[in-house]
């Protein structure tokens, strides 16, 4: 399977934010996108997730088995917000996404254990701390199998231990043949990832 981004450009209504982005990632490969605020990291991830129409170019998936045809369908998108309902319990939140997304992979209890939050299952999501909330959002990546992870600032709000743990999850996913694209300004401790750097702003 290959994730191919070809001559991608994005426009948010006030001129192109970036253009000429092209790369391809095969099974088990990862890409870290770094750069200053406003350089277009999030925009790139959203364009790849199909949430934003690119001004130019394509982002697609090439799968020989034919199981995945659409990049958005083959992806988990972890945005800057956690996509969890504060009024529902953690278990209800996770159960909903598992049922909605299809192709379940891991049991909810198991997923919660993986991020070390099994004791919060029956608490409303709003009771959790910022870091705990992020860990639950990360746990959502494991609920359903998707070969591609599109991550936007995945480690924001995490402490050092959780960050290391998260890096482990990313490694495991890549080892299992998954593809990871992460936009972040914090380094992720995973070896062998490609890097895409949005340069410093240039004076006009």
Partner 1 sequence: MMALILRDIRIGVRAGGGMLIGILFFLAVITVVPFGVGPDLKLLARIGPAILWIGALLASLLGLDRLFQADREDGSLDLLIMAGHEHPLALTVFAKCVAHWLTTGLPLVIVSPALGLLMNMEPAAIAATTATLLAGTPAITFIGATGAAIAVALPRGGLLVSVMVLPFVIPVLIFGVMAAYGAVEDPAPFLQPFLLMCALTLFFAALGPLAAGAALKGSSD
Partner 2 sequence: MSDTIAPARRFSLTALANPTRFLSYSGKILPWLGGLSAIILIVGLYMSFTAPADYQQGITVRIMYVHVPAAWLSMMGYMVMAVSALGTLIWRHPLADVSIKAAAPIGAAFTFLALATGSLWGKPMWGTWWVWDARLTSVFVLFLMYLGIIALQRAMDDPVKAARPVAILVLVGTVNIPIIKFSVNWWNTLHQPAAVIRMDGPTIDPSMLWPLLVMAVGFTLLFFFMHMVAMRTEIWRRRIASMRRASAREQRGAAKPVLAE
Which range, of 6-14, 69-77, 81-89, 173-181, touches partner 2 by CB under 8 A?
6-14
178 or 190: CB nearest partner 1: 178
- CA pair distance 46, 72, nearest whole angstrom: 10
> Cα separations (Å) of 126 from 92, 145, 159, 169?
13, 26, 19, 25
> Cα separations (Å) of 124 from 24, 48, 120?
40, 32, 8
Lay out the site mask for partner 2 across 15-44 (x = CB under 8 A, - = otherwise): xxxxxxxxx-----------xx-xxx----
User: Shortest Cβ distance from residue 13 to partner 2 (Å)?
Assistant: 4
- Binding partner at 35 among partner 1, partner 2, none, C-beta below 5 to 8 Å by kind: partner 2
125 or 171: CB nearest partner 1: 125
Lay out the site mask for partner 2 across 55-74 (x = CB under 8 A, - = otherwise): x-------------------
User: Shortest Cβ distance from residue 167 to partner 2 (Å)?
Assistant: 19
16, 99, 107, 161: residue in contact with partner 1 (rule CB under 8 A):
99
85 or 194: CB nearest partner 1: 85
Which residues are within 8 A (CB) of 103 and not within 5 positions of it... i.e. 6 or more apart? 144, 145, 146
Q: Which 3-state string (H, E, C) describes 75-99?
A: EEEECCCCCCCCCCEHHHHHHHHHH
Residues that bind partner 1 (CB under 8 A): 12, 46, 49-53, 70, 72-73, 75, 77, 79-88, 92, 95-97, 99-102
């Amino acid at each position: 399977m290959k994730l191919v981004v070809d001559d991608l450009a994005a426009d948010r209504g006030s001129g192109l934010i970036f253009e000429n982005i092209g790369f391809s990632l095969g099974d088990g490969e990862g890409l870290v996108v770094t750069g200053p605020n406003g350089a277009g990291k999030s925009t790139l991830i959203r364009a790849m997730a199909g949430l934003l129409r690119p001004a130019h170019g394509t982002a697609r998936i090439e799968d020989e088995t034919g199981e995945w045809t659409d990049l958005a369908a083959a992806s988990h998108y972890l945005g800057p917000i956690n996509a969890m309902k504060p009024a529902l319990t953690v278990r209800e939140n996770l159960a909903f996404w598992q049922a909605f997304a299809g192709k379940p992979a891991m049991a909810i209890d198991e997923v919660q254990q993986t991020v070390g939050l099994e004791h919060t299952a029956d608490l409303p999501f709003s009771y959790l701390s910022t870091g705990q909330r992020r860990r639950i959002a990360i746990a959502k990546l494991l609920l359903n199998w998707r070969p591609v992870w599109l991550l936007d600032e995945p480690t924001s709000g995490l402490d050092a231990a959780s960050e290391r743990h998260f890096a482990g999850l990313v490694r495991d996913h890549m080892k299992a043949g998954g593809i990871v694209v992460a936009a972040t300004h914090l380094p992720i401790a995973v070896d062998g990832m490609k890097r895409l750097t949005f340069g410093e702003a240039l004076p006009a």
